[in-house]
A = this chain, B = another copy of it.
């Protein structure tokens, strides 16, 4: 029997670790002959664009290197499967690819859009009496906004990068003896998990970020200006963490949308910078952490990478056990000591939905988060991966 694995959605530091998890588990499974990697997510399955991972990944060193290489080694896609009743063509093509290569298990690593693909494929195979082909979803997203799972692979590494970088920006912001406001824009289309995670700096004695704004809170420009003024009375260099999904008002929202109908927002940091420059006479700077949040594997979280590999392995195990149309997820049993188990859930419960940051963890003032959030976040960023270096720069795994 052969299997296939694919990666989808926005890149993270941990999505290759999940692929290694699937691959290593396959090597340990006697029934499995070949592991195919599908190029550019489901598009590779539909278009029969596959590579043989057993040839591409030859040594344990390769696997270790791939685990710490950011982004998706197999490429990604944002392709949304049409309903099979509307257009069966891609399903027929996918089946042809599976049959041609004797692929009976397919593990799809991705976000909530990818879980939509897991649900549709698995339902289709069942509907045509081909439930011998099993489809399992493995979660990933730096946004941490998938339902059911305690957290998502990729988030811990992004949070570790963001917290560490914000801390360095705090040091940088304090050098001159003048009043300043630094606004740091952090990724999170609709959910503020990553921006909220900057509260972890409290654990290391930082007071900043002094203000944290999330899309889950009610944002008001006038209250924001008041908040900043209030912090300026206490701190010479005010640090603001703002989630890219924070909305100013309906007219000012970005208007472009991606294939899934998600609004593409950008520039909240720059817009808040302009507001402060106008309303308060002080030095103001906005900083976008940009794609570095999802690809800075040189400071990835060991917990995150290890868990990403584990959940990938569990995904293949579940498929081998006959599960289909399900997504693997983490269940947290305890914060201290941190204990999680992996289980599976109907992928339908995750597909196309989002888990917002809990309102109960936003402080009453609406401009910060509680220590409960801190306890939730901290375990996810623990530990460092020993990064392979060459010529003073991280070494990445590359397909030959």
Question: Restricting to A265-307, which residues have a CB under 8 Å from any CB of B?
Answer: 285, 287-288, 290-292, 294-299, 301
Select which of B70, B78, B168 is within 8 A of A171 by beta carbon.
B70
- The copy count of this chain in the complex is 2
Select which of B77, B394, B398 is within 8 A of A176 by beta carbon.
B77
A8 (CB) vs chain B CBs: closest residue:
B175
Question: Restricting to A1-33, which residues have a CB under 8 Å from any CB of B?
Answer: 10-11
| Residue A169, interface by CB 8 Å | yes
**Which residues of B are found within 8 Å of A384, using beta-carbon distances?**
389
Tell me whether B163 and A393 are in contact (CB under 8 A): yes
**Which residues of B are found within 8 Å of A294, using beta-carbon distances?**
172
Question: Restricting to A155-207, which residues have a CB under 8 Å from any CB of B?
Answer: 160, 163-165, 167-169, 171-172, 174-177, 200-201, 203-205
Q: Kindly specify which of A112-120, A143-151, A349-357, A375-383 makes contact with the partner chain.
A: A375-383
**Which residues of B are found within 8 Å of A296, using beta-carbon distances?**
165, 168
Q: Interface residues of A, CB < 8 Å — how many?
A: 58
| Residue A243, interface by CB 8 Å | no
12 contacts between A and B (CB under 8 A): A11-B172, A71-B172, A72-B175, A75-B176, A75-B177, A164-B394, A165-B292, A167-B396, A168-B297, A168-B298, A169-B292, A204-B391
| Residue A323, interface by CB 8 Å | no
Interface residues of A (CB under 8 A from B): 10-11, 39-40, 43, 69-72, 75-78, 160, 163-165, 167-169, 171-172, 174-177, 200-201, 203-205, 285, 287-288, 290-292, 294-299, 301, 378, 381-384, 389-396, 398
Tell me whether A43 and B297 are in contact (CB under 8 A): no
- Given the interface pairs A169-B291, A171-B295, the reply to whether A40 lies near B177 with Cβ below 8 Å is yes
In the A-B complex, list the 6 residue pairs whose CB atoms are closest, starting with the nearest: A381-B392, A71-B171, A76-B175, A172-B295, A168-B295, A203-B391
Tell me whether B291 and A290 are in contact (CB under 8 A): no
**Which residues of B are found within 8 Å of A298, using beta-carbon distances?**
164, 168, 299
A375 and B396 CA atoms in complex are apart in Å by: 21
Tell me whether A393 and B168 are in contact (CB under 8 A): no
**Which residues of B are found within 8 Å of A11, using beta-carbon distances?**
171-172, 175
Tell me whether B391 and A200 are in contact (CB under 8 A): yes
